[in-house]
Every structure is written in structure tokens, then in C-alpha cells.
Structure 1
């Protein structure tokens, strides 16, 4: 009896046998995967292969992690086939996601209520993830087992989003790994992966301060080499300090966030306010003061462009610029950071966040929805001014 499961990767020979397929799934696909059928191998077992690549969605979306299998002989009792999904971290730790044995199914941890089998026919071990979260990003293993055989395959789940550098009011290089992880979480984000930081660098991210990534390494992206950032004569790239001591060493953080279930806006007022007054003003408007990650997401996904400095949740003063102009902080798009002024005596505007209303009847202020189209042309996140 033989069981073969494969997802994502084909050998060069197999690639020559099948037509190429698009590996990126849009919202309109609703998580559907495209399947490549490959010729029989010498054993007579038919290999069924999902399209190579990764599946891409956004926070709040619905996506299918594709996995199909074929077993010989055909008359194997389906009730004796076990399907198991786990998430694999960079440190080779495994987190249980889903397991099914016949009609018995179990979902684990934060995936409860969000994961189910697609059940698109015999041999389908794909699972659907609803209401995707930032923490769902990563690599998943699909394992199918019968009485005598088992096989596994892997799927990478990617999220559309934005990477941003972060340091707290205490200043630069003040965070150990766990503090950096918490700082990103407090700003509606997670620690970025190396792949996310590298992609941000390819899009123009240039930042001279080293920061933690989710795998425990410390890195920073340089698009314009200069002496104060690792020497001017070195090539552009992502500088890597390697894996550092998570408790004792201190750096900044690189955070990652995705689109919003809501809207960030600049609160129009006749006068500027201090930090406490900004928080109360957002609350009176049916919102809360925006977090740093929410402001970056609004800049990236809502095309929020406002040449007015305002308070955000961590006590810093920032403003988002999509269309650069001389009077708004330079020639590059990005979220400008004016630092952490005195919360009591300094006066600015306020950036508020209003969550989308999910109830049966929308409140009067809930007609402001999040823009759906992401932008691909914004290439740079500018350094703090």
C-alpha cells in the first residue's frame, strides 16, 4: 500500500511535464487552489501536485491551504486515513492546527472556530482558514497517514502588509527580544520575518538601526550605503548581526502589520490638543486613538495622506505621506516620525481608528469602510525626520 502527498514543490523533471500555473490567489479566488496532475510514476501511484509557490491573503481574509493525496489501492477505507496540519516555526517547533480521522475532527488553539476541511472530493486534504490573523503567517505541514504509509507536504502562507521600524519612548536600542515582540503587539503588529524585511528592502526600505526579527536574529536594511551605516563602499542589502541573546542584548524592532478591519483618520478640530485630550477626542468621536501599526496600514492600504502631525497611541507624533511635497517632510513617501514630545504640554492633532461594525445594524458612524485596493507603487518608507 502506498500513499503519496505533495504540496508546493515539483522537481525540474515534473515541471517539464506540466503547464505552468499562477500561484498567487486573490480574494475573488476565495482560497481555491489550482491542481497540477502529473504522470504516473514507476510504482503506479498517481502523484497529485498543487501549484508550486505560496498562497497569499491579508488579515481578515479567507484562504485555502492546498493539499491533495492519492493512495493505492483505491479501496482503502477513508475512515482510516488521518489528516493532520501543523504550523512549523523557524526554530523547527510544531504547533498543532487541525487533525481529522474519518468524520472525527479537532481544531487547536487560536485556530478553533476558524479552520475546517475543504472536502472538495476524494483525496482532498486542504483546509480553509477564515478570518486570517497576523500570527497565521508562516509555513504549514500537511501530513496524511493510513495504516501503513504516511507522507507530508508544505504550504507557505504569506500576507500582504507593511514592515516598519519601531523603537519606544525610552529611545533606540532599548528592547530585548521579548520586549520587542510585545512592543510590536501593542502597536497592532508582529515581529517581521526575514522574508518580510527582505521584501521591504527590495521595495526601498532604508533604516540604519538594527532591529529584532521574529526568528531571534538582528538585521537592518540599507538601500543607500553610507559610512554611518556600515560603510559607504559596501553594497546595498539587509545587514545581518546573526542570532543574538534574547534576554541580554537590546536593539530596536522591525514590525509587520496587514490591512485593517476599520479606518484611520485625522480628527479635524479647531484647536490642537495634548495627548490625554487627543485620546478623549477620539473616544467622543466613537473611535480610539490609532496605534502606530494602524497608521502604517492606513498609509499602505487606505492611501492615507495627511500633512498634519498628530498623536498616536504610543505617545509619538507622526503623519502619513503618500504624495511627497517639499513642505511635508521630504521627497519620499512614508510615515514621518517627529518623536515623543511632552504628553502634557505639547499640542498637536490626533489620528483616530474606528473599527468596522460587524453587528446586524450599523451605527450611524459606521459607514466609513476600509479601502480594499492595496498599492504596489509606494517604494520607500522614509527615515524619521
Structure 2
């Protein structure tokens, strides 16, 4: 029904009772040589109009939860002796087609970081014309598209950078059964399982890697989709092609589906706590607490399977 690598599908909290997440480890940044290898070379074009010209990295930059990443952006302007204090650098995150979330702004030596980015975002300052920013301790919510805007008096230009995360997509539905979640409940369900709603590109990548799931689920943009690698009559007819099938954008309050969640690398470790007898969920919770840990969530188990290569055949 679905590929070997996705047989960890979990339908509720009871399934993973004795997997445990240890206390969070200290967050460590990526090694400098690894950061360097992930920076994109940016070539700045000059023109004779005096306008500010901004160029960012093509494609995307990639990191994982808890890592550090540089969002590259360089600019050129004429005349070159323009007062640096009059150049404004602004970074925003594109949250929707016409919606933006402020991330960082700098005007000369004055700087401001907004919201959840406070204490984590800094100018790289790699030389003249460098408007790149470094994001430290990257979170799942940092995933997405960013705009770099450079303004010099009346001239301005923008460029875009896509931040991607190494991670894993998993289908999820609550213990009450399938097709019980509206969009907002699906958001909360993923967060409760240490994840976020997956994007279309993340689900498409998971499908390319073999994910095959017959039940439709919410994605972060409000659409409802599901990936089919092996077409069959039980999943919308056998003669339809394989692919990510799309129900389009649905009513976020009234309609109910499952969820496709996305998670990334852990800051702790999931391990199997061996008991001499089978335990129910409440007993598993107590056993985890006595061991100085907590019962793992679905997203944490998937992350351990993906990144720790956790492999246990006992049903829990």
C-alpha cells in the first residue's frame, strides 16, 4: 500500500507510548566549513542608471532545525561613495501572495529584529554591498520564502531567497478517527506532534521518495492533497496517473480532512525503553517520567527514524 520507508504511519498517541525524548540538548550551529559550503555565490550586476541593484541566491539554501544558515543578498549602487548610513536593508518573510512578515531592518548602524527572530538574526557583514543575514537556531516555522530589499534614498530593489529544511513528511489523524480536522485543528495537531503543516513542495518531495497515502490531508496553504505512488481503485481509480492529487483550496472552518505534517532534526534523542511487561499509555507516561524523559510525539519518532536511523520492531 505504501513504500517501506513510510510504514511508520501512526494513527494516535497510544502507538508510540514507550519511545522517549530526552531533555533538549544545547543547540549547536553548523560547522563553519559546512556553512561556507551552503552559501551561494552571488554575482552583482552593475548598471549606469544609479539605481540600487540587488541579487540573491538562485534556487534555495538548505539547513535543518537547530542549525544556522546564511540568506545571501548583495547589492551595488552608484555612486559608490554614497553614505552607508542612508542605505536601508530590510528582510521580510513572504507568508502569502500579498502578505509579509517583518524579520529584520537596518539603517546605517541602527538595527531591529522582529518577533520570533529576535536574538537569532544578524547581518553577515562580509564586506561592502553585503546585505546577507544569518539565522541561528533555525525553527520549523522559519521554512519559506524571504525577500531582501535594499533602499538608497529614492531607489530600491529586491531579491528573494528560499529557505528549505531537511526533514520528513508524515500523514496524521487523531485517535477519534479520520477526516475529523478542519484547517486550524490540523495546524494544532501538527504542532502538538512537534511538527508543522507541510507545504506542497515538501509533500511533492515526499511523494518522489515513495510516500503513498490514500487519505486527503490539509497543507499549510489551505489546500487539501494526497500523494499516490501506486494508483488503485480504492484511491480514486486505478487508471489515473500517479502523483500528488489536489482537491484545491477548501473551507478552513467547515471542511474536515486529515493532515500532512512536516518535522526536522531533533535537539534531543528518541530511544526505546524496554519494559518486562506490556504497559498501557498511562503506565508508559509514568515510566518515561521515572526515566527522566517524556513520551515521544509522532513527529519526534519520525525525526528519529529519519535522522537517527532508529529501527525497532516492537509494537508500542
For 2:120, the equivalent position in structure 1 comes to 114
1:126 to 109, 128, 132: 132
Q: In 1, distance between residues paired with 2:311 and 2:79?
A: 61
For 1:30, the equivalent position in structure 2 comes to 35
- From the superposition, tell whether residues 306 and 199 of structure 1 become closer, same or farther in structure 2 (CA, over 3 Å): same
For 2:185, the equivalent position in structure 1 comes to 179
2:309 to 303, 313, 332: 303
Aligned residue pairs total: 286
Q: Deviations over 1:144-166 (max 9, x none)?
A: 10112011000000000000000
TM-score normalised by structure 1 residue count: 0.71
Assess if the C-alpha contact under 8 Å between 1:34 and 1:51 holds in 2: yes
Unaligned runs of 5+ in 2: 1-29
2:248 to 239, 242, 257: 242
For 1:269, the equivalent position in structure 2 comes to 275
Q: Deviations over 1:283-327 (max 9, x none)?
A: 1111100000000000000000000011xxxxxxxxxxxxxxxxx
Q: In 1, distance between residues paired with 2:151 and 2:50?
A: 19
For 2:200, the equivalent position in structure 1 comes to 194
For 1:348, the equivalent position in structure 2 comes to none
Assess if the C-alpha contact under 8 Å between 1:26 and 1:57 holds in 2: no
- From the superposition, tell whether residues 150 and 56 of structure 1 become closer, same or farther in structure 2 (CA, over 3 Å): same
- From the superposition, tell whether residues 44 and 37 of structure 1 become closer, same or farther in structure 2 (CA, over 3 Å): farther
Assess if the C-alpha contact under 8 Å between 1:36 and 1:48 holds in 2: no
Q: In 1, distance between residues paired with 2:144 and 2:55?
A: 20
1:279 to 274, 278, 285: 285
Secondary structure, counterpart of 2:82 in structure 1: coil
Q: In 2, distance between residues paired with 1:304 and 1:72?
A: 56
User: Which protein shows a greater Rg?
Assistant: 1
Unaligned runs of 5+ in 1: 1-24, 311-385
Q: In 1, distance between residues paired with 2:35 and 2:213?
A: 36
1:294 to 276, 282, 300: 300
Assess if the C-alpha contact under 8 Å between 1:26 and 1:56 holds in 2: no
Assess if the C-alpha contact under 8 Å between 1:79 and 1:101 holds in 2: yes
Structure ranking higher on relative contact order (CA contacts 8 Å, 6+ apart): 2
Once the two structures are TM-superposed, the CA of residue 43 in structure 1 deviates from its matched residue by: 4.4
Assess if the C-alpha contact under 8 Å between 2:53 and 2:157 holds in 1: no
Q: Deviations over 1:225-246 (max 9, x none)?
A: 0011111001100000000000
Once the two structures are TM-superposed, the CA of residue 199 in structure 1 deviates from its matched residue by: 0.3
For 2:146, the equivalent position in structure 1 comes to 140
Once the two structures are TM-superposed, the CA of residue 47 in structure 1 deviates from its matched residue by: 5.7
Task: Select between 299-308 and 33-42 the one with higher mean Cα deviation.
Answer: 33-42
Once the two structures are TM-superposed, the CA of residue 29 in structure 1 deviates from its matched residue by: 2.8
TM-score normalised by structure 2 residue count: 0.87
